[in-house]
């Protein structure tokens, strides 16, 4: 008999309407109700689209140099001005989005794909499985990414793929620990026991009870790690361990803009704003997703 304190779990165990399709259409309706969320989703999609379509819509290629026009302020020809060797900032911003999003989303995605199952396994199985996985986590945390990146680049060379490799080696840690904590917290609750007694499979337990609870913090981890990865890639590239010039990325553009802060602030403002807007819209979308997938969360206190 579930205790009153565990009643929290019960509403989630029941879909809002008969059949799975009903859950999603309900979720969509809830999501669409909030104009801020819609705006955020639209912005996120716009940024992704702009980045993907960069070769088609950018005024120039990202590597077109014009040393006669360095550090030009915004003008009709160059909407965001030019950088130190006359490259169009707007074009580099659009192309940069491709690189940054590619690296950040891949790394974070890999981190989730590897970390979530590992963490759930660790929390669910406990015992020596948990022990081994956690020791693996601790070893991975201690090894410095800089050193790993230097090894990767001296052996494999530079390039987007190698940057992703160097960064992904640590990206799985946070999702893993988060899922483990959530699993541990819920594993031995009575409602889980009850469902187990009723013959629910492990998959059902994880999918219905544990994952939805972890979704919120997981989304925050994802939205936090995206800018982190953007800047990790930038610092690696800054040290010659990442992506070669002239291929731009938002993080690289921000790092390079530091030397020109006082005279061409646009060089730094443009990519920083892009990153901030991208992160903000992804954050709001993520929040909205989490809210939408759980109907009991519409109100605050």
Partner 1 sequence: MTGRYLLGRVAGLGIVVVVVSILAFALMHAVPGGPFDETQMPLPPAAKANILHKYALDKPLWVQYVNYVGHALRGDFGIPYQSPTETVLGLIARVWPVTLLLGGIVVAISFTCGLGLGILAAVRHNTWLDTLLTALASLGMTVPNFIIAIWLILILSVRLHWLPTGGWGQARLLIMPVIAYSLQPLAIVARYTRVAVLEVLSSDYVRTARAKGLSPARVVARHVLRNACIPIVTLLGPMIPDLFTGSIFIEFTFRIPGLGKFFVSSIFERDYPMIMATILLVAVLWSLTYLLSDLLYVVIDPRVRVGARGR
Partner 2 sequence: MVARRYALLALVVILGVALGGHALGATMNAVGKPLPEDAAPPDQQVITGLTQPATTLDFFVGVYKRPQNIDGNSWSDILSTPLVRLDKNFDLVPGAAKSWDVSKDGMTWTFHLDRSQVWSDGTPVTADDFVSTFRLGADPKYAWDFAWFFGAIKGWDDAVKGTIPVNQIGVQRGADQYTLVVTTKTPAPYLPGMMLYSPPLNARALAKSGPFYNNDPKTSVSSGPYVLQEWTKDQRIVLVANPKYVGVKPYIQKVVLKFADLKTEFQAYVANEVDVAGNFSPADLQVIQFSPALKTQYHQGFGDFRTHYLGFDTMNPPFNNLKVRQAFSHSIDREGLIKGVIKQQGIAAYGFLMPGFPGSHQDDLKSIQSYDPAMAKQLLAEAGFPGGKGFPKLELWLRNERALGQAVGNAIAAMLSQNLGIQVDVSNRETKLFMDTLNSHKLQFYMVSYGMDYLDPSNMLGIWISGGRHAWKNDQFDQLTTTASSLIGDPQKRTAMFHDAEKVLVSDVGLIPIYFATPGFMWKPYLKGDALTADKIGVVAWHWPGWDGLSTLHESVYVTKDVSKFPRQ
Q: Which of residues 196-225 bind partner 1 (CB under 8 A)?
A: 196, 202, 213-214, 216-217, 219-221, 223-224
The one of partner 2, partner 1, none whose footprint includes residue 67, by CB under 5 to 8 A per kind, is: partner 2
Q: Closest separation between CB of residue 155 and partner 2, Å?
A: 11
Measuring CA to CA, which residue among 110, 232, 128 is closest to residue 173?
A: 110
Footprint on residues 45-64 left by partner 1 (CB under 8 A): none
Residue 294, helix vs strand vs coil:
coil
Footprint on residues 224-243 left by partner 1 (CB under 8 A): 224, 227, 231
Contact (Cβ atoms closer than 8 angstroms) between residue 250 and residue 275: yes
Tokens standing for 72? 């030009």
H/E run at residue 253: helix 250-257
Contact (Cβ atoms closer than 8 angstroms) between residue 113 and residue 95: no
Contact (Cβ atoms closer than 8 angstroms) between residue 286 and residue 219: yes
The one of partner 2, partner 1, none whose footprint includes residue 297, by CB under 5 to 8 A per kind, is: partner 1
The one of partner 1, partner 2, none whose footprint includes residue 52, by CB under 5 to 8 A per kind, is: none
The contact set with partner 2 (CB under 8 A) reads 63-65, 67-71, 84-86, 150, 153-154, 158, 238-241, 244-247, 256, 258-264
User: Long-range contacts: 119-122, Cβ < 8 Å, 24+?
Assistant: 119/175, 119/176, 119/177, 119/178, 119/179, 119/180, 119/181, 119/183, 120/179, 120/180, 120/183, 120/206, 120/210, 122/176, 122/179, 122/180, 122/183
The one of partner 1, partner 2, none whose footprint includes residue 264, by CB under 5 to 8 A per kind, is: partner 2
Nearer Cβ to partner 2 (99/158): 158
The one of partner 1, partner 2, none whose footprint includes residue 103, by CB under 5 to 8 A per kind, is: none
Cα gap 101→99, rounded to integer Å: 6
The one of partner 1, partner 2, none whose footprint includes residue 241, by CB under 5 to 8 A per kind, is: partner 2
Of these, 42, 57, 151, 156, which contacts partner 1 (CB under 8 A)?
Answer: 151
Please report whether residue 13 would count as binding partner 1 according to CB under 8 A: no
Nearer Cβ to partner 2 (31/238): 238
Please report whether residue 268 would count as binding partner 1 according to CB under 8 A: yes
H/E run at residue 137: helix 127-142
């Amino acid at each position: 008999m579930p205790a009153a304190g565990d009643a929290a779990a019960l509403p989630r165990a029941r879909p809002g309407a008969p059949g799975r399709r009903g859950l999603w259409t309900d979720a969509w309706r809830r999501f669409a109700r909030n104009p801020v969320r819609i705006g955020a989703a639209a912005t996120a999609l716009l940024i992704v689209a702009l980045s993907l379509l960069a070769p088609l819509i950018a005024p120039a290629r990202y590597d077109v140099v014009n040393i006669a026009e360095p550090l030009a302020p915004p003008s009709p020809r160059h909407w965001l001005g030019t950088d130190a060797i006359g490259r169009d900032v707007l074009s580099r911003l659009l192309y940069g989005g491709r690189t940054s999003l590619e690296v950040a989303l891949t790394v974070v995605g890999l981190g989730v794909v590897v970390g979530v199952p590992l963490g759930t396994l660790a929390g669910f199985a406990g015992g020596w499985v948990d022990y081994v996985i956690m020791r693996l986590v601790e070893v991975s945390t201690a090894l410095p990414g800089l050193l790993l990146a230097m090894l990767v680049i001296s052996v494999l060379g530079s390039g987007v793929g190698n940057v992703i490799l160097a960064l992904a080696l640590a990206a799985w840690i946070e999702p893993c620990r988060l899922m483990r904590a959530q699993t541990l917290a819920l594993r031995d609750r009575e409602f889980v026991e009850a469902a187990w007694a009723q013959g629910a499979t492990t998959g059902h337990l994880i999918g219905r009870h544990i994952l939805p609870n972890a979704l919120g913090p997981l989304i925050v981890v994802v939205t936090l790690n995206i800018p982190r990865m953007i800047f990790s890639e930038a610092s690696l590239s800054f040290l010659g361990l990442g992506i070669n010039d002239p291929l731009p990325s938002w993080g690289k553009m921000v790092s390079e803009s530091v030397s020109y802060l006082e005279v061409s602030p646009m060089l730094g403002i443009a990519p920083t704003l892009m990153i901030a807007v991208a992160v903000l819209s992804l954050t709001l979308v993520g929040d909205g997703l989490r809210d939408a997938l759980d109907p009991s969360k519409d109100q605050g206190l």
